[in-house]
Homo-oligomer: A and B are copies of this chain.
């Protein structure tokens, strides 16, 4: 059983993040909230999302799984005006999810989740830890676009740097320690990541959000941030590109 009411803006924020990675997803539902673990088809990135019951206007559920196509959910969200809420209810007998927005009813078949296994979330201990406003990262990404397919993330005890180097062009954004939310980097660390994955995620994060970056040399980067007024936590892992000599 699953029935919940959510502000359309909150649902939109959550769906925007997940759909940077994957379209068809399985939510694991219980009385405390919903969660999701997913990797992209190329196994380059992984997302782990927990949405607490308090992220909803109202929430009541027992243990269940809900498989949905996020493109359809996006089209439902567009039907809501600013400030409107969306009621979602699982129609268990017939395997459907029903959305209600004012006098609109929108029903869709659920996706079969029997073959959708949860990926294993890596346990990583990364030496550098940077807290930064997403707006800074978004500015850096705009500068990096069309220069190279990869982006370098670097940290040292003085600050954080995002840079991109091509054959004829170079772009970087340097944020000194004083302009960061937090910084812990005993030694200098640096890794290369695929720009498109990083860029799609960063652009989908709402302005004003603080992103926590865990970084090490030639290791996956782990990005952690909150959505839904702090009631939802996202952990995002992105594999490094390791340059061979």
Contacts and interface: CB of A to CB of B under 8 A. Distances in A.
Contact of A107 (B105, B109, B171, B176): B171
Nearest to A71: B146
How many copies of the polypeptide does the oligomer hold? 3
A143 B170 CA distance: 44
A109 B143 contact: no
Contacts of A104: 139-140, 143, 171-173
A70 interface: no
Interface of A: 72, 75, 78-79, 103-109, 139-140, 142-143, 145-146, 168-176, 179
A171 B105 contact: yes
Contact of A106 (B109, B170, B174, B179): B170
A103 B175 CA distance: 7
Given A103-B175, A105-B174, A174-B105, A72 B169 contact: yes
A104, A139, A174: most-surrounded residue (chain B CB, <10 A): A104
Nearest to A147: B106
B109 A172 contact: no
Contact of A109 (B75, B139, B169, B175): B169
Given A103-B173, A103-B175, A175-B103, A142 B78 contact: yes
Contacts of A78: 142
B170 A103 contact: no
A108 B146 CA distance: 12
A31 B47 CA distance: 56
A42 to B, nearest CB: 27
A103 B179 CA distance: 11
